[in-house]
Amino acid sequence: MATYLLVHGSFAGGWIWSGVRDLLQDGGHQVRTPTLTGLGERAHEAERTTGLSTHVDDVTRVLRGLDDVILVGHSYGGMVISGVAEREPRRIRSLVYLDAFVPERGQSCFDILPWLREALAPGETDYLMPPPPPELLGVEEPRFTPMPLGTHTEPSAAGFPELPSVYVHCTGQPFFAEVAAALAVRMPVRTLDTGHLPMLTAPAATAALLAGLEPHAETPQRKEHRTP
């Protein structure tokens, strides 16, 4: 059986994985679903200085109590798992990017998807981005909380992943279609016929896909596609 560490995306918390977590645990797997600083039940911890490196620290601390981990990052969580993988590669079996950012070193979320800069403009404060409207994500979820702006402006300190990696593209919404297409020559790309939040809209399919991917992660062809 496998050990999964599931990292949520923007505006969410560890709660978002509850359906997927329960199904994986029913299959005998160990699952951890931490909530990142300043989000979910930790929303009161958000500060102007909260950024990507804060969240890499969060997940690194959890990972250091585990071994042979399948590290999954959804959406913004892809930025986080890339940073964690560069710090603690020996504890990780494979990476799964679930409709997620996959940064090169020095890239921020806004560098990868520039249209987000306007779409997620801060609200009443100048450092917290309010959750997007329900019609954008396809779900109405009252537990979403504002996101510290620094998470999307801070550049990644990690390079493209060297560990065995798989990208899962959610084809029901177009947010990461270009990212998935560009990555197809660098790592295996699988698809889910769901919107951007498959853990909410299709937890059984998401859990089954994650469990099925585990034996098949492949090493990305990094040396043939190295960015100068």
Q: Just list the catalytic residues.
A: 75
CB 139 within 8 A of CB 200: yes
Alpha-carbon gap, residue 24 to 90, rounded angstroms: 23
Residue with tokens 């469990």: 211
CB 195 within 8 A of CB 126: no
Q: Within 13 Å, how many C-alpha atoms sit on residue 155's CB side?
A: 8
CB 138 within 8 A of CB 201: yes
In terms of Cα–Cα distance, which of 96, 31, 88, 37 is closest to 64?
Answer: 88
Composition of the chain by helix, strand, coil, percent to 5: 40, 15, 45
